[in-house]
Each structure stands twice: as structure tokens, then as C-alpha cells.
Chains A and B, each alone.
Chain A
């Protein structure tokens, strides 16, 4: 044998072995902590659909069954592990749980949080602990308007979009509106006393942040679009009150043309069940900003002519496409019914994180393969290929990212690249052939319903909601 043959032959074998072992080497799994409501009133309509969607997507991705370009296994080849924990128990408890997720369970990324209160509290903690956190469902506009974050992202547009679009849709479909009322759960939010708008509203909103914020954004938008519309009464019953007899009487007496409500969960169901037989909705149709998940639960109990939103182009408003079809198929297999907006939020978050992860990984690979290849570089490449991107690299990829999701195209354009924007849609429910269907659907592009970068939502609305460029 010639002197040079053995080494070359050996080198080839070693190389083949190295490549084989590289691909056979189990890639370090990507551990994602997923936080959503698993117990309590928010679990059924919101938390559990989110969990099903997250699990369905992760299982499908790990099996390599996603539609192109998601047909590689997991995240860029690395399997994904979901660590699901319960968001119930209050904000203070969630902050402890977050620390526990990061320090005890050693997750790589955190995806979660439906409650606006939890999002607002967790964001600074995530920043302090330098853990990339993707907020997937909470709506408060304040997260990136009141502070800047490097490690926190949100893959859904915030609730100003819902409120403004609601006002636009209402006025387009019912231009004769002269008065409106609200019933919203009484929970935290912006100052309810802002100058310039008559406080004669009717609303029934659960008295808590989301409820108050929702009501405030809506009334501000109405104040700008139709200042002469009068608010007749604003009911803010306690969260979980359950008995709305008196509130319903007050709403009926107020005689509003439409009732705005951000009630959700068992409270919404109770309210509808109690108000329906009393004929409240024949006099004053209901406007449910986030009502989409209840359509299948309440079925024909949903009052005819209810204006309903899905917090974005989700559910019935989602555009046709391979990603939407995929989500609907795997979700239906898991849950037995069609996915609602929390499922879309969860799916979008995971797919967005995946898109950023893979973009960062590709960038990393491209940096480590110089022109022309030789032995040492192959090992270098394999090593780079096996690891995931670092946090800094992922953040750089995520900022300003535009990715496709079951809800359509998402663009991380606000909050210095950390806050997603998209358009939205609203519709009206009607009983068609005995089935509750959403008709009269109108879409609203993102410039009409969201403030531009650097402008706070409240200011943008009060300033006349000039479309962002």
C-alpha cells in the first residue's frame, strides 16, 4: 500500500463516521416552558385550547409532519420539549413560578401568559433573569408602550386593535347608533377618568385590568369616531360574580343601542343565559370584543345579531392557507372541535419562536462556513449545527421578523421589533339553517387599527387614529 493511501482512506472513514454520529447524536432538546390557565374559570375557554394547540404543534413538529417550510423535525432539527405549568393563582404566585421554571426546570425559553396582569409583572422579571419570553395572548398595550425590553416578545397584536376595530365595525354596520352601554369585569386598567368624554356609558365588563382597559379603549375610539354617541351606563361587576340580575335590569332600563362587553368565561355564559330570556338582546344587541371562543360553547344560546371579534384574524376570520389547514387538522384531532383564538395565539407564538430560532441558526451556520471546505472546518460546522443559537443571536433574529402563521402574516414591527402587528376582522352572528354562523365579515388592515411605532395607544386614539405609514 502506498504511503499516502492509508491516511486518506482512514480520513474518509473518520469523516463519514463523524458525519453519521453528528446526525445521530441526539440534538439537545429545546425546552420551552409554556404557561397557561389549566384551572380556574379561564381554563376552559382560553387556557386549555392554548395548551392543546401548543402540544399539537409541538408533537407534529417533532414528528416532522409540519407543512413546508416546517417539515424538518422540531426547531431546526432539535426536538422540542414542552414544560406546561398553570397560570392560575394570581400574579404574585406566577412570579415565583416563573423563577422556578427558569431556575429549577432549566427551560431555554418561556412562552405564555394570557392574563395582562401576569404579562405586565413577568416582563421585568424575564428581563432581569435574561430569559427569552414570548407573551402569546395578553392584550394590554402597555407592555412595550411603557418600557423597552430585549428579552421579551409578543407575537400577537395588542388589544387596542380589538377596541378600535370594534368601534369601526359598529359604526359601519349600525351607523344609526346613538347610545351604548358596557358590562365589563371589574379589574385593573388605566385611569377611568379621562377628560373630554361624557361618562354616561353603558358597559358590563368584569371589573379587572383587561375589562377596564378594554372599555376605556373602546370608549375613547367611539369618542373620536362618533362623539355624539352617549354612554348610558357602565356596569363593572366583580370577577366571577355569576348573578347579574340587577345589572341586567340596569342595562335594560338604560335603553342603549348596543352593549359592549369584554366579559369572558363562565361570567359571560352566565350573563348571556340570564339576559337572554329577559329579552335584553332584542332591545340592545351585544358587542363581544373577544367572543369567538364561546360561539361553539354557547351554540344557539348566542343571541342573534351579536357582533363578535376573535382578537385578530383567528378562527373563522383566519385566511385560507396550508398553515391554517394544518392547525385546524391537528387541533381537531386533539380537542374534537375547531381551534379558537387562544389556540391560534399559542400556535403563532411557537411558530414565531421557531422562525426566529431557525433564522438565527442559519445565520450562525453561514458565518461559520468560510469559502472552500477542508477537514477542520467540517467539524466546526457540525458543532455549530448541533447547538442552537445563543440568546443574543435569537433576539437579533426575532426583532423585526416577519413570519407566516395560521392567522396570516405576522410582522414584529412595534416595540422596537418586539411587538407583533397584523390586521383584524369582526363579524355578526346569525342563525343560518339552525347553526350559528358569523356573517357580514369585515377586515381591517393594521394601519387603521394600530398606532405607529413610538406612539402610545391612548394618544393615538385621542389624536384621531391617523393611519400609520
Chain B
């Protein structure tokens, strides 16, 4: 019984972490039809920025609780700088090329950011452990979980609901949906598609960075975390259906639960359980679970 509870809780914690990371990716794809390989690098940038900002805050002697705010600030900062820089400076030049070429462009950005991050922050692992332990821990049966994990779960739910409401209830959201469904028609009705792209990419970047910032207190931030995360994010997004918010949530839950179950019950397959699930879903539903239907042009 206890093991089932452990699997469920671990699964939820891992899923919410995955969701925050993957939702930006699926949003960008949905609107701009770009599968952003550099998403992992932006996650890493968020983690590094959080370590820098948070570390500075604590070193200056400010109340440690404020470091949480610093994490969010770091994410927003990365979003507002890296996002427009990449979108306006680079992606702008290659719109209109085939989808796969755009993927390669983002792959190139990933390579570049990998080294830029090393140059900016060095190769040593950095850490900022304080926010993780600050809030204490909760006991569930004979297991102890840090309250921080609960906060992450709540935050991911907030992000999910917030995004859903923005997309469905606000005017900007509906404009976004229009662009997702048919870019040409949206442009024809007077929507400034180019600005929508910029805003979307910025938000997607900020979300990736938020994922990184939230993770920073629990790991040692070092070069290489980007590559680890990219494949996971891809798996979640592809399983759920590219461009679908609900799909990202469902994909995150599936991957999270499968992994938690594997760790507890069958540790040997933990390594490739994620890819196996991805392959299985793709075989059954080639476009993912909640794919956005697309008209086929002859």
C-alpha cells in the first residue's frame, strides 16, 4: 500500500516538473510550428540565472524566503532577453523554410547556447540549495517529502490553469488559437501574426526558464543538463500531441507515472521506459494523443 502511495506521489512530483518544462515547447510548436530543440538550453539558462540571482540575493543577506521570488525573476529575465533575441534575431530570418529546416536551426541554437553557457558560467557545477530546504518537509506515512516539491506541484497546476484560461477566455488567447489553427486566415483577418510569434516565443522561453529555475535548488547546475531535458520534453510533447496544452499535461502525467513505477518496481527498465512509451504511443496514435487536426493540402 505504502509503495503505491510512494509511486503516486513521486509520479505527481515528477509529472508536474515535466509539465512546466514541456508546456512551453508545445505552445511554441502549436503557434509557430517550430520544434524548438534549444528549449533545453533555455531551461539550463533559467537554472543558471536562478543560481546567480538567488545566490546573489542570499549572499547580500536578504531574507531567504525572498529567494523564491528571485527564482521567478530569473525565469522572467531569461524569457524577456533570450526570447526576443532568438526570435527576432534569428528565427525571423528563416520563417517559411520547411519545418525540418527550422528544427535544425534550433538545433544549431542549442549547440551555440551550450558553449555560451559554459563560457558565461564556467564548467563547474553550481548550486543554490537554500530554497529547497527552507520550507521544511511533510510526512506522508513513513515517507518524508520536502514542502518545496508540493510548491512545485501547485505552481505547475497554476501555470496550466492560467494558460488554459488565457487561451480560452481572453482575447489574446483567442487570437493565439486562431493563429494556431490557420495562420494565413488569421493574417488575412488583420491579426498581427508576427507580434503573436514574438509574444509566444517569449512566453515559451520564460516557461522553459521557469522549469530550470524551479529545478535549480534541487540539483547541481552543470553543463549537460540541457541535453538530458530535451529528450524528455520531446517525449512528453510528442505523446500528448504537438500543440496541445491538455496533451502536454496528459503526456507529463503518463511519463511521470511510468517512470515512478519503473523506479520502484523494475529499476532495470527505468532508463528507456520513456522512449518505449513514446514509441508505443506514436505507433498507436501517429500524431500523439490530443493532436490538433490539420487540413491536408493537395
A contacts B directly in the complex (CB < 8 Å)?
yes
Q: Which residues of A contact B (CB under 8 A)?
A: 38-41, 43-44, 48, 186, 207, 234-238, 240-243, 245-247, 249-250, 252-253, 265-267, 269-270, 273-274, 276-280, 301
Of B7, B218, B221, the contact of A243 (CB 8 Å cutoff): B218
Contact A234 B267 (CB under 8 A): yes
A-chain residues with CB within 8 Å of residue B225 when the two chains form the complex: 240, 242
Which residue of chain A has the shortest Cβ distance to B122 in the bound complex? Answer: A44
Contact B144 A245 (CB under 8 A): no
A247 to B137 CA separation, bound complex (whole angstroms): 17
A236 to B263 CA separation, bound complex (whole angstroms): 9
Contact A245 B10 (CB under 8 A): yes
- A246-B142 in contact given A253-B3, A270-B218, A273-B129 (Cβ < 8 Å): no
B-chain residues with CB within 8 Å of residue A241 when the two chains form the complex: 228
Show 12 residue pairs from A and B whose CB-CB distance is below 8 angstroms, ordered by the A residue.
A40-B224, A43-B124, A48-B124, A243-B14, A252-B143, A266-B219, A273-B127, A273-B132, A273-B219, A276-B133, A277-B132, A277-B146
Of A38, A238, A240, A266, the contact of B270 (CB 8 Å cutoff): A238
Contact B6 A249 (CB under 8 A): yes
Of B6, B125, B149, B270, the contact of A253 (CB 8 Å cutoff): B6
- A249-B222 in contact given A237-B270, A266-B125, A276-B133 (Cβ < 8 Å): no
Contact A240 B228 (CB under 8 A): yes
Of listed B3, B10, B14, B136, residue having the most chain A CB within 10 A: B10
Residues 138-150 of chain B: 1 if any A CB is under 8 Å from the residue's CB, otherwise 0?
A: 0000111110110
Of B146, B149, B223, the contact of A39 (CB 8 Å cutoff): B223
B-chain residues with CB within 8 Å of residue A234 when the two chains form the complex: 267
Q: What is the distance, in angstroms, from A240's C-beta to the closest C-beta of chain B?
A: 6
Contact B267 A41 (CB under 8 A): no
Contact A41 B127 (CB under 8 A): no
A243 to B132 CA separation, bound complex (whole angstroms): 13
Which residues 120-169 of B sit at the A interface, judged by CB distance below 8 A?
123-125, 127, 129, 132-133, 136-137, 142-146, 148-149
Which residue of chain B has the shortest Cβ distance to A38 in the bound complex? Answer: B123
A169 to B225 CA separation, bound complex (whole angstroms): 35
Which residue of chain B has the shortest Cβ distance to A45 in the bound complex? Answer: B125
Say whether B75 faces chain A, with CB atoms less than 8 Å apart: no
Contact A253 B2 (CB under 8 A): yes
Which residues 172-228 of B sit at the A interface, judged by CB distance below 8 A?
215, 217-225, 228
Of A44, A246, A265, A269, the contact of B259 (CB 8 Å cutoff): A246
A-chain residues with CB within 8 Å of residue B136 when the two chains form the complex: 277
Contact B270 A252 (CB under 8 A): no
Chain B interface residue count, Cβ-Cβ cutoff 8 angstroms: 46
A276 to B129 CA separation, bound complex (whole angstroms): 10
A146 to B200 CA separation, bound complex (whole angstroms): 58
- A266-B264 in contact given A238-B271, A253-B6, A279-B144 (Cβ < 8 Å): no
A96 to B2 CA separation, bound complex (whole angstroms): 51
Q: What is the distance, in angstroms, from B185's C-beta to the closest C-beta of chain A?
A: 42
Say whether B13 faces chain A, with CB atoms less than 8 Å apart: yes
A-chain residues with CB within 8 Å of residue B92 when the two chains form the complex: none
A236 to B270 CA separation, bound complex (whole angstroms): 9
Known: A41-B222, A252-B143. 8 other contacts (CB 8 A): A48-B124, A234-B267, A245-B10, A250-B263, A253-B3, A266-B222, A274-B219, A277-B136
Q: Which residues of B contact A (CB under 8 A)?
A: 2-3, 6-7, 9-11, 13-14, 17, 118, 123-125, 127, 129, 132-133, 136-137, 142-146, 148-149, 215, 217-225, 228, 259-260, 263-264, 267-268, 270-271
Q: What is the distance, in angstroms, from A48's C-beta to the closest C-beta of chain B?
A: 8
Of listed A40, A44, A243, A269, residue having the most chain B CB within 10 A: A243
* Nearest 3 pairs of A and B residues by beta carbon: A266-B220, A246-B263, A269-B220
A207 to B268 CA separation, bound complex (whole angstroms): 10
Contact B144 A278 (CB under 8 A): yes
Contact B125 A265 (CB under 8 A): yes
- A243-B219 in contact given A41-B125, A253-B2, A301-B129 (Cβ < 8 Å): yes
- A245-B219 in contact given A235-B263, A252-B144 (Cβ < 8 Å): no
A249 to B267 CA separation, bound complex (whole angstroms): 13
Contact B218 A274 (CB under 8 A): yes
Contact B222 A252 (CB under 8 A): no
A-chain residues with CB within 8 Å of residue B143 when the two chains form the complex: 249, 252-253
A267 to B6 CA separation, bound complex (whole angstroms): 22
Of listed A40, A240, A245, A265, residue having the most chain B CB within 10 A: A245
A266 to B225 CA separation, bound complex (whole angstroms): 10
Contact A207 B271 (CB under 8 A): yes
- A247-B218 in contact given A207-B271, A273-B129, A277-B133 (Cβ < 8 Å): no
A144 to B287 CA separation, bound complex (whole angstroms): 53
Q: What is the distance, in angstroms, from B289's C-beta to the closest C-beta of chain A?
A: 23
Contact A249 B146 (CB under 8 A): no
A-chain residues with CB within 8 Å of residue B142 when the two chains form the complex: 252-253
B-chain residues with CB within 8 Å of residue A253 when the two chains form the complex: 2-3, 6, 142-143
A-chain residues with CB within 8 Å of residue B222 when the two chains form the complex: 41, 44, 265-266
A-chain residues with CB within 8 Å of residue B6 when the two chains form the complex: 246, 249-250, 253
A276 to B134 CA separation, bound complex (whole angstroms): 12
Contact A242 B219 (CB under 8 A): yes
Q: What is the distance, in angstroms, from A354's C-beta to the closest C-beta of chain B?
A: 30
Contact B10 A273 (CB under 8 A): no
A-chain residues with CB within 8 Å of residue B146 when the two chains form the complex: 277-278
Q: What is the distance, in angstroms, from A179's C-beta to the closest C-beta of chain B?
A: 16
Which residue of chain B has the shortest Cβ distance to A274 in the bound complex? Answer: B218
Contact B224 A41 (CB under 8 A): yes
B-chain residues with CB within 8 Å of residue A186 when the two chains form the complex: 271
A-chain residues with CB within 8 Å of residue B149 when the two chains form the complex: 245
B-chain residues with CB within 8 Å of residue A301 when the two chains form the complex: 129
A270 to B136 CA separation, bound complex (whole angstroms): 18
Q: What is the distance, in angstroms, from A197's C-beta to the closest C-beta of chain B?
A: 18
A186 to B264 CA separation, bound complex (whole angstroms): 16
B-chain residues with CB within 8 Å of residue A242 when the two chains form the complex: 215, 219, 225, 228
Which residue of chain B has the shortest Cβ distance to A238 in the bound complex? Answer: B271
